Each structure stands twice: as C-alpha cells, then as structure tokens.
Amino acid sequence: MEREIALAGCVNFRDVGGYAADGGTVRWRRLFRSDALHELTPGDVARLRELELATVIDLRSDFERGHDGEGVHPLAELGVRFVHAPIINALNGEIMSDTSLTLAQRYAKILERGGQALAETVASIAESPGTSVFHCAAGKDRTGMVSAVVLGALGVPDADVVADYAMTGRNLVAINARLRNHPAYLSTYAFVPKDAMTADADTMQGLIETLRERHGSMAGLLEHVGIGPETLARLRRNLVAD
C-alpha cells in the first residue's frame, strides 16, 4: 500500500497505517498526517474524497490559521468535521524556544502542558465515522508528537514510531520552501531554533523514552491528559484491524 499521497497543495501527506499493533495491524486509509491543507487544489480535494475523508484536525495556533488567506477551506465541500486543537498554545508556547532543553524534552513538555488539545485530538480520531487527518504547518513537530502518541497507544513498536517521524526528513527541503512563502512565518522563521527544522530519529527515540519514564507508556500519558479507557478502546477499534 502506498504510504505517501502525492498532492499538489501540500508536501507531507501520508498514511500512518500498516504498522503492527497490539491485537493486529493499524488500518490503512483510516488515519493520515500532513502539513497544512489550506492550499489544496480541486484535484487534491477529489483525491481526498476518494479516501472518504471525514475529520480534519488542525493542530496549529489561531495566529497561523488567521494568515491562511480569506475564503472557504478547500475541504469544506466534502462536508468534513473540522476540529481545532492547538497543541502549542498559551500554556506551553514558550517551550519550543527553550534551547536549554533537547528537542525531545521540549516535545514532552508541550504534550504534558497542552493536554486538552491532545485529548481532543485523540478523542476526535477515536470517534471519527471515517478517515481522519491531523496536521500542523510542516507536518513534523506537532503532527509528529500526535502520531507518536497515537501509534504508541496502539502498541506500535518503537522502531516504527521513530521511522514514522524520521520519514519527514526527505520532505524537509520542500517543507522549508513552503513555510518561507507563508505570511504567518515571515516574522518568526528566523527565530525558530535550528534543531526544530530537523526530523532526526534520535529526537523521537528521546521523546518515547522521556514519556515512558514519566508516564509508563503513551496510554499513561493519555490518561494523564484525561483520556479514559473507553476512548482508548474506541481508538483501537477504529484504527486496528485484527
């Protein structure tokens, strides 16, 4: 099954299915991760219609969303449910610039402090009646954190979670070029720590180890942010095939 989906309006859209999980395999064509989706073309929308997209979870801030330009979102015609769950927000926004911490440590603190957005994201995926996609601007940091938590909670092996994150590395040139053309990043791009523009495997391995030390597992982190066993069971039913 093809993991990366080529679209004209974004550069980092891919399936997170196919990985071994507890009790089965993560379903193909059920959950996707991506960079920002507001520049999708009519052809892209037609492709996502074929994938039966039902839920779009936007992990970006209000500031970023406010600089996407005017008009209706390209995916509105599909009748999808839009969920806004800013993983980086007023509670944790300063963490990403704290270079006294490793990038993995920053990720961990962001997830712990921005728990409501993480809980809403996971609940939305669990409850989606069809295919879901979650995205940020680049499809790397916030999207990578969510992917790690969801896949980890399903019992996907660490090596696959790490590889899923590092896969963005081959798209970084295109991602950086795209971000430099977005008004939301013109005044902030120069201040982004250099390690935040990487997708190194060691970063994800460090995040997994940090969260496991603090919470026992990704399921433990989800319990910490308010996701109960019923929602976690729905997530598994929705995403894992026997």
Q: What is the pLDDT of residues 55-104, one digit of tens each?
A: 999 999 988 888 876 678 999 999 999 999 999 998 898 999 899 999 99
Mean pLDDT of 142-161: 98
**Which pLDDT score, from 0 to 100, does residue 124 have?**
98
Spatial separation of the C-alpha atoms in residues 89 and 110, rounded to whole Å: 9
State pTM to two decimals: 0.95
Give residues with Cβ within 8 angstroms of 216, minimum separation 6: none
The radius of gyration computed from the CA coordinates of the chain, to the nearest angstrom, equals: 17
Question: Is a pLDDT exceeding 80 seen at residue 167?
Answer: yes
The two three-digit tokens of residue 227, written as one number: 């996701």
Q: How confident is the model at residue 181 (pLDDT cuts 50, 70, 90)?
A: confident
Q: Given phi > 0 = left and psi -120 to 50 = alpha, else beta, which region is 23?
A: left
Q: How many Cβ atoms are within 10 Å of 182's Cβ, its own excluded?
A: 17
Spatial separation of the C-alpha atoms in residues 235 and 129, rounded to whole Å: 12
What Å distances lie between residue 242 and 159, 216, 236, CA to CA? 21, 25, 10
Mean pLDDT of 189-198: 76
* H/E run at residue 7: none
pLDDT, one tens digit per residue, over 101-137 is 999 999 999 999 988 999 999 999 999 999 999 999 9
- Say if residues 26 and 154 touch (Cβ distance below 8 Å): yes
Spatial separation of the C-alpha atoms in residues 16 and 18, rounded to whole Å: 7
Spatial separation of the C-alpha atoms in residues 44 and 193, rounded to whole Å: 32
**Ordered structural domains, the chain, with CATH:** 14-223 (3.90.190.10)
Question: Is a pLDDT exceeding 80 seen at residue 188?
Answer: no
* Bridge partner list, 20: 25
The two three-digit tokens of residue 59, written as one number: 């992990």
**Which pLDDT score, from 0 to 100, does residue 189 have?**
66
Question: Is a pLDDT exceeding 70 seen at residue 176?
Answer: yes
DSSP state at residue 80: P
- Say if residues 26 and 14 touch (Cβ distance below 8 Å): no
pLDDT, one tens digit per residue, over 22-40 is 999 999 999 999 999 999 9
Transcribe 22-40 into DSSP letters: TTEEEPTTSEEEES--TT-
